[in-house]
Structure 1
Amino acid sequence: MRLSSLLYFGAVAVAASSTSRKKAKVKEPTFFNGIQVPPMLELTPDNYEATVEETDFLVIKHFSPYCHHCLDYAPIYQTLYEYYYTSKPVTDEETDFTEFYKLRFASLNCIAFYDLCSSLKVQSYPSTTLYKNGTALETIKGVKGLEILTKAIEPHLEKAKPGSRPKVLNLPEPGDDETPPPPKPLENFNPEGVSIPLNATSFETLVATTQKPWFIKFYAPWCHHCKDMRPNWEQLGKEMQGKLNIGEVNCDVESKLCREIGVGSYPTLLFFKGPQRVEYKGLRGLGDFIEFAEKAVEAAGDVPNVTTRSLKKLEAKEDVIFIYFYDHATTSEDFMALDQFPLSVVGRAKVVKTKDPELAKRYKITTFPRLLVSREGRPTYYNPITPQEMRDVDRILGWMKSVWLPIVPELEASNAREIMDGKIVVLAVLNREESRTFQHAMREMKKAANEWMDKQIVLFQEERQALRDAKQQRIEEAEARGDQRAARQAKAIRINMDKSQRKEVAFAWVDGTFWQRWLRNTYGIDGTGGNRVIINDEDRRRYWDTTHNGGKILLSRAAIIETLSKAVASPPEIKPKFTISSFEKLFFDIRMSFVDHPYRSMGVVVLLVLAAAMWFRRRIRRGRASHFPRPEDGWSTKELMKEGLVGGGLNGNGKVD
């Protein structure tokens, strides 16, 4: 038994060894930065000792050909090897990098040469180890990027040859065949720290035809709001010195330029970067300006790459993150479309890109490129995935605007209409000063929001499946009758869930102290104490602030979900209150009847008009009639005498008193 096992493993090792030799013969040199790079050294028990003796530094990738992570790591390690092989040390000597440091890169197949890997104490694949004279100095486990790998190698090279390593490495992306061009030196924007007056000519040369970022105020000298904002705008220029160009355009003087740009009110604040622009609609305090300007400058740069670790750090700071997944086959056209997204959502969300296989696995991404939004770790996917759809910037931006709010955003003046209009909103009235109570309330609101969203997804899927089943049933019935025309019509039915009658439900919170007056005037409550929940239907001017038992809605997941389910029922199972008076409600109900039932309402109006016309016509006819009876009216002589209209009168003697 023992002999047979030895023979079996010996055969496997020989086969693997012969296979690796065949592969080595097939491999051809590659080119990096225009320099030919020989195939990487493949270690075996036969050449390991000699290689260690010939080198001072030896970097070895220990791998398994059947390991998926190793396959993902292969292009990273190959690029690392090519980058160092073609690099030049910082020295006056004309020398080869490999000879200067006596450094070699190699790979070791731990399936074919298990004993060698075992002797080197390799415990997982892939693992990369830097050896010096056969002694391990650094070991990096798993799939790591070039930045992490070079940080492990560089200190030891610098220690061996002091002053020979650059302070900053210009690293390529994995799979590239050249190093990227050195980063351009940062331009000293706004060197004077002032807001620069612009006219049509200077706007064209400094803003429109360049890729330089500008934040510009369009104003009129007589505008009171512009006058009030002027000190903050001037201070913004000082704060953005060396960071961002600040400008202003007098629309009384440059009226044509303002019309071409589409300025409709004063002041209008626009951030420009070449043909791209975004309007600032927030508050006009200095801190608000600075916060927007800094985010806009960051968004105007390149879309950052993220890994699992860096995304985790980013999620701790950002509520909403758009993640663009790409691979080696993603084209320049795809990236050109991607570059237009960050500036369009500045101040709302963060846009990043990734090719990290761990992130793709986490979000179950199998096709590339793909876009999703992560709101506090909860993904929502952009469904269109064809190449043309992934380059349709307007369509993607429309989707991004529909999902760029956090799961439970704060209601502010700048986003109130966006949150409240067209939705039923669960609004928590909180006091941010009471931190402990505030955090607990926010956790309950987020739990309720996530649970409700999960339920709506299930209902959406059930509704869609019911429509699909109905379509399939019509197809089967038509085919059973042999009615090909009906079968074609049934197959042509499109399942369109955009027309679903289910109203969207959103969650938000409001500072009860800051919005105290609005809460009192609208809902009749005192918001200073916080810890209240209101379910608001802005379109119907109605709201619920009590449960079906008449008590206040508690700030708990169970109470919110239970009350919300009854409020959104049709008709509502809890009687609503209204934010308008009874007199206003009368006219509002009439108007809403035309919105809900336009044809029925128009029919009622037509009937009322016809009835009024008939009544009016009869009154006119009666008014035009003579005071004297006509023969055709059929009055008898006796009736005429009784009325005193012919001889005889009332006293019977032919006289009338």
Structure 2
Amino acid sequence: MLIKILVGTFLFALQQQNVAADTSSVYIPNSEGKVVTLGSANFTQQVEDSPDRAWFIKFYAPWCTHCKTLAPVWVDLAKTLKGKANIAEVDCTVDEPLCRSYGVSGFPTLKYVAKDTSVEYRGTRDHDSLLAFVDKASKSPVTHVSDSELAAKLDSDEVSLVYLYDGKADHIDTIESVGQAFINDLATYATSDPEALTRFGLQKENLPKAVLWKGDKAMVYPGSDFTNIPETRDALRNWVNDRKYPLFFELGPGNSNDVLRGNKLVVLAFFMPSRELDEQKAFLKNIAESYAKNVGDEGKVLFVWMDGIKHARYVYNVYGFNGNALPAVVISDPKNAQFFAKSADGEALDLVQTEDIVKAIDDAQSGLLKAKSTVPSGQNVAKYIEKAMVFAGKYWFITIPAIIVSSALLIIPLIKSTQTSDKSTDPKSQ
């Protein structure tokens, strides 16, 4: 009897030891509730070689004022997310190549990195907003729906990505990855409901298929391979990225970086909200619809509006319009730092003249319009830089890189002529 008791006690102790060992091997994110410092020495091991572990990373520079303001918020966020999500930071003055590889072009840049995807946070940098973003990013971006549920979603969403499959949801991991990259821009759905095929004009033999729904128009992804490999993910991701924006939309902190630093023409309208805002939006919508009808909507031209009164200084200093001239419209060419305010006939572009603006878009693409620069002449360089630096702290659509690039384009010739020997890279000295 005693032997049985001893054996039983031994087996129980052994079992408890195994349980303890198993428990200790379970990975717990952010176990200490602290911000982890990442750099070239540990980034690959901690992040890239551990795709099952998600990280919310702050890419910063010590001299950056906004980074200093964010610092205590970031520490508090790490405490709140103890045991739930990894919070980290990378000093880009120390690990510039690493930051560059993640597309960091301004400070601070916040990115949620999970598996093979990183998505940038573009909202306000308060504790609760950051917490809500992590909660959203940590969940699956794909919602599985029936056809009736999908119909309701499409009616309310401006842009949606829909994955249609037959039976088993093969390759859903590919859609998860792509959907994660666009959680700021659109909703992602998956369905095997046969009724959904009719909605998009597809047949069962076409499956699986990905469809981008914008307004009342379906754009079918031309590819048919959804295998979860980098080449397939990148192809679908690039296709969606070129078409992710609504027919027309407001310029804001979540999209200004892409729009004003992109390589697409932008029909940019400056509205006066106090004067029938809905009517002004309707004019821009008519232009966007007419252009899409004539040349197809593949996202080659963006149709955007902004509050011309709220951002009056920016509108006046860059485009030359004061409040009395609103509403107004220009065709912006961010890639070449220029814009077009008049047609080929020399007439000012008018929101009401839909067909004239559609023609002006074609003329701009053909090089037939006279452009104006969004960067001032060399004699106003100092004044421009001073204003730009003020705007950088006040407006979200003027970024540090934009200031640096614009300033460099104007100052480099002056530097060459004076042959300065100062090669310091310290922003304070510059």
* TM-score greater than 0.5 by the shorter chain: yes
The letter for the 2-side match of 1:354 is T
| Conserved? CA contact 1:430–1:530, under 8 Å | yes
Q: In structure 2, which of residues 43, 68, 71 is the aligned counterpart of residue 227 of structure 1?
A: 68
In the alignment, is residue 375 of structure 1 matched against residue 214 of structure 2? yes
In the alignment, is residue 359 of structure 1 matched against residue 196 of structure 2? yes
* Residue matched to 2:163: 324
Q: 1:310 to 1:578 in 2, by over 3 A?
A: same
Q: Measure, in 2, the Cα distance between the counterparts of 1:263 and 1:566.
A: 33
Q: 1:283 to 1:195 in 2, by over 3 A?
A: farther
Q: Measure, in 1, the Cα distance between the counterparts of 2:374 and 2:92.
A: 42
- Secondary structure of 1:569's match? helix
Q: How far did 1:217 drift?
A: 2.4
Q: How far did 1:385 drift?
A: 2.5
Q: In structure 2, which of residues 304, 311, 315 is the aligned counterpart of residue 515 of structure 1?
A: 311
Q: 1:281 to 1:581 in 2, by over 3 A?
A: closer
Q: Measure, in 2, the Cα distance between the counterparts of 1:204 and 1:531.
A: 53
| Conserved? CA contact 1:430–1:509, under 8 Å | yes
TM-score normalised by the chain length of structure 2: 0.64
Q: How far did 1:230 drift?
A: 1.2
Q: How far did 1:441 drift?
A: 2.4
* Residue matched to 1:350: 187
* Residue matched to 1:425: 266
* Residue matched to 2:357: 563
For the pair shown, which has the larger CA radius of gyration, 1 or 2?
1
Q: How far did 1:305 drift?
A: 0.9
Q: Measure, in 1, the Cα distance between the counterparts of 2:61 and 2:224.
A: 46
The letter for the 2-side match of 1:564 is V
Q: Measure, in 2, the Cα distance between the counterparts of 1:392 and 1:552.
A: 42
Q: Measure, in 2, the Cα distance between the counterparts of 1:347 and 1:277.
A: 13
The residue correspondences of 1:258-269 to structure 2 (distance < 5 A) are 267-269=108-110
| Conserved? CA contact 1:218–1:263, under 8 Å | no
Q: How far did 1:277 drift?
A: 3.6
The residue correspondences of 1:72-151 to structure 2 (distance < 5 A) are none
The letter for the 2-side match of 1:578 is K
Q: How far did 1:447 drift?
A: 3.1
| Conserved? CA contact 1:515–1:527, under 8 Å | no
Q: How far did 1:354 drift?
A: 1.0
In the alignment, is residue 392 of structure 1 matched against residue 232 of structure 2? yes
Q: How far did 1:423 drift?
A: 3.1
* Residue matched to 2:246: 406
Gapped regions of structure 2 (runs ≥ 5): 1-26, 379-430
Q: Measure, in 2, the Cα distance between the counterparts of 1:579 and 1:205.
A: 45
Q: How far did 1:335 drift?
A: 2.3
Aligned residue pairs total 343
The letter for the 1-side match of 2:186 is A
The letter for the 1-side match of 2:175 is L
| Conserved? CA contact 1:566–1:573, under 8 Å | no
Q: How far did 1:399 drift?
A: 0.9
Q: Measure, in 2, the Cα distance between the counterparts of 1:412 and 1:567.
A: 23
Q: How far did 1:215 drift?
A: 1.3
The letter for the 2-side match of 1:541 is Q
- Secondary structure of 2:249's match? coil
Q: Deviations over 1:85-110 (max 9, x none)?
A: xxxxxxxxxxxxxxxxxxxxxxxxxx
| Conserved? CA contact 2:290–2:354, under 8 Å | no
Q: Which has the higher contact order (CA 8 A, sep 6+)?
A: 2
- Secondary structure of 1:328's match? coil
* Residue matched to 2:112: 271
In the alignment, is residue 211 of structure 1 matched against residue 48 of structure 2? no
* Residue matched to 1:579: 373
Q: 1:379 to 1:242 in 2, by over 3 A?
A: farther
Please, what is the CA RMSD of the aligned residues? 4.4
Gapped regions of structure 1 (runs ≥ 5): 1-186, 461-502, 585-657
Compare 289-298 and 204-213 and name the one that shifted more: 204-213
* Residue matched to 2:350: 553
- Secondary structure of 1:278's match? strand
Q: Measure, in 2, the Cα distance between the counterparts of 1:426 and 1:516.
A: 18
TM-score normalised by the chain length of structure 1: 0.44
Q: Measure, in 2, the Cα distance between the counterparts of 1:582 and 1:328.
A: 60
Q: 1:353 to 1:230 in 2, by over 3 A?
A: same
Q: Measure, in 1, the Cα distance between the counterparts of 2:84 and 2:279.
A: 40
Q: How far did 1:321 drift?
A: 1.0
The letter for the 2-side match of 1:344 is A
